[in-house]
Chain A
Amino acid sequence: MEQLIPIPYRPLLAILCPAIGSIFIVLFGKRPNIRESWTMLASIAQFLIVFSMVPIVIGGNGEPIKYTLFTAFPSVDFGFSVDAFGLIFAITSSFLWILVSSYSIGYMRSLHEHAQTRYYFCFCWAIFGAVGVALSGNLFTMFVFYEILTVSTYPLVAHDQTPEALFAGRKYLAYLLTAGGFFLAAVVITYYFTGTTDFVTGGIPNLASEASRTALMALFALFLLGFMKAAWMPFHSWLPTAMVAPTPVSALLHAVAVVKAGVFGIVRVVCYIYGVDLMHGLGLGLVLACLATFTIIVANLFALAQDNLKRRLAYSTINQLSLIIFGVALLSPEGIEGAMMHIPFHGFMKITLFMCAGAIIVVSGKKNISEMAGIGKEMPVTMIAFTIGALGMCALPPTAGYITHHFFVHGCEEAGGTMSFFPYVLLIAAILDVMYFFPIIYTAFFAKSEGSSGSKINEAPLFMLVPIAITATVSIIFFFYPDLFHISELVETAVSSLGGVHP
């Protein structure tokens, strides 16, 4: 591989894969089989290139792979820096893109969706943005890819072109472009204070000395507003509204790529811009933990009120994203490890749930939980996979969610002080998860359907069923072997290089 692609070019090539794929998708727009082969090919190539960087980063003891395209401003490069944390997000997005590509083929064809070429084209650019965010070497590059991600997902949210979809699209843009404005302001202020926007393990050294305490707090608030993609409350409502998009979009983009770009940004700012020491000194960890806790509880309460399955899953996503924010807010090694690990773990579990919801829509057209009585008997594979994903959300064994829950609880104990009360909040959150996920499982397997529609329902097409089975299986494998895809090794590398993490 090293002879084939020189190491410094790999980040660039990994990012360019979907961009190149998108060109061929448009060229072969009238020949669906070839068009979709290009999607698959681009996704596989991207994953292989991303994965080929894992041994280099782990072997280099966290030393990043750097590639600069050009210098935009003095001390601000437009370039990439592949470190262990960035790779976790890149691996998750690129691997799940392969599965969602296969799932999309089954979904889009079964529903005879319009504008499929546009759909695959925009999907490529969304992944281009997501992996770009993951591999960015500084805030400036991250901002550019962050905005590409926002703009490229708009046509996907508004895909149906119904008044409801167009409204959702407008709302999506209103929230996320406003957030982009705040993010840009934060990037400019950081540059003004420090003369750099680079991600530095342990934080930018001169940030604390160049800015006053109040200025640093205001800057952090700007960063938080900039990362509205993390859907923290009260700036969350774009996410449930965006569920009007086709299910593969909800699955990969609104459960993995877009929302994770938001929490990824928050982790980057906490660990690589401010640094754990400065966060601790400013008392921002507790503020962030309180914000995350509020979102966790309220999102769970909102989820309880939803009958539409995708909307319920959206609120569950809001809750789980804040769990990641909560983990990093603990500013303890295990808390940060849990937060980093929950990015891929939640990605796999939540994508399973969304894909199951999509399979139910394709096969039966049912969107509401109250209509799903007895569906588990007709779609056993789908609903067993759903049960696995739901157990993961409730932090119950044998799923990946149980592992990260442990990290968060240990992280609270490690952080000590006020933080040692937070495990009880996590317990309440898990109980609320049970209260809205278990009724779905109960309705699907044990409730009797009132009156039969006459037509027999079968499982979804294989193109959809195989990805569901794979993600559900991986969610269980993570419980027994968290180092699958080198995830735990990468997390350890990332946390060990942070320095100054408070026990």
Chain B
Amino acid sequence: MILIDEPLMYAFVAFWIIWVAVRRKEPGRWLIKFCEGPLMTFARFIDFYVMRMAGFFVWVSKNPMVALRIKEKEVRLKVEKPVITPKKAEEYERGLEEVRIRYTKELPRLSLGASILLILLFFLVYLAMYLLTVH
């Protein structure tokens, strides 16, 4: 069965082939230029923000408690800055900087062996709970 859009599709294919045969270049160069320019800029813009979001998740996962404290202090500083004295604002910024420094120092680092041991322990606990509930 021929659908409504099929003749249009074949017509375009025929048009494309005839255009290229006669003019020796592809039709729709303006569209390709638009795709190469503004559209790719838009794509890079979206990509930048998605990567930033992923980076934020990674950053938070390293030390969630301190990361959330930093975020809380950042928001507080932004909200209160217009209504507090410059001295107080400076104090806030110093406090924020201190937490930031602590964040990098407090990074929990585990060796591969310790990580595997932790995972095994987790499974052991799970197994024990499972067996207890079964019996």
Contact = CB atoms under 8 A, between A and B. Distances in A.
Given A178-B57, A234-B50, A423 B9 contact: no
Interface string A229-265: 0000011010000000000000000000000000000
Nearest to B1: A406
B3 A175 contact: no
Interface residues of A, number: 31
Interface string B27-45: 1100110111001100100
Given A237-B50, A406-B3, A302 B13 contact: no
Contact of A438 (B16, B53, B54): B16
A166 B96 CA distance: 33
B13 A434 contact: yes
A290 interface: no
A431 B15 CA distance: 11
A436 to B, nearest CB: 9
B68 interface: no
A294 to B, nearest CB: 12
A426 B4 CA distance: 12
B107 interface: no
B3 A305 contact: no
A174 B32 contact: no
A70 B46 CA distance: 42
Contacts of A480: none
Interface string A433-451: 0110011001000000000
A304 interface: yes
Given A234-B46, A301-B39, A305-B35, A178 B8 contact: no
Nearest to A181: B57
Contacts of B20: 438, 442
Q: Chain B interface: which size bin?
A: 20 to 34
B118 interface: no
A395 B13 CA distance: 12
A302 B37 CA distance: 10
A58 interface: no
A254 B47 CA distance: 19
B13 A396 contact: yes
Contacts of A70: 130
Nearest to A409: B3
B39 A435 contact: no
Nearest to B47: A237
A423 B16 contact: no
Given A304-B35, A434-B12, A434-B13, A427 B50 contact: no
B55 interface: yes
Nearest to B49: A234
A16 B20 CA distance: 52
A76 interface: no
Given A423-B3, A427-B5, A304 B32 contact: yes
Interface in A284-319: 298, 301-302, 304-305
A435 B54 CA distance: 34
A302 B35 contact: yes
B58 interface: yes
B80 interface: no
Given A305-B39, A396-B13, A438-B20, 9 more contacts: A178-B54, A234-B46, A304-B32, A305-B36, A423-B4, A427-B9, A434-B13, A434-B16, A438-B17
22 contacts: A171-B51, A174-B51, A174-B55, A174-B57, A174-B58, A178-B57, A235-B50, A237-B47, A301-B35, A301-B39, A302-B39, A302-B43, A304-B31, A304-B35, A395-B9, A424-B5, A427-B5, A427-B8, A427-B9, A434-B13, A435-B16, A435-B26
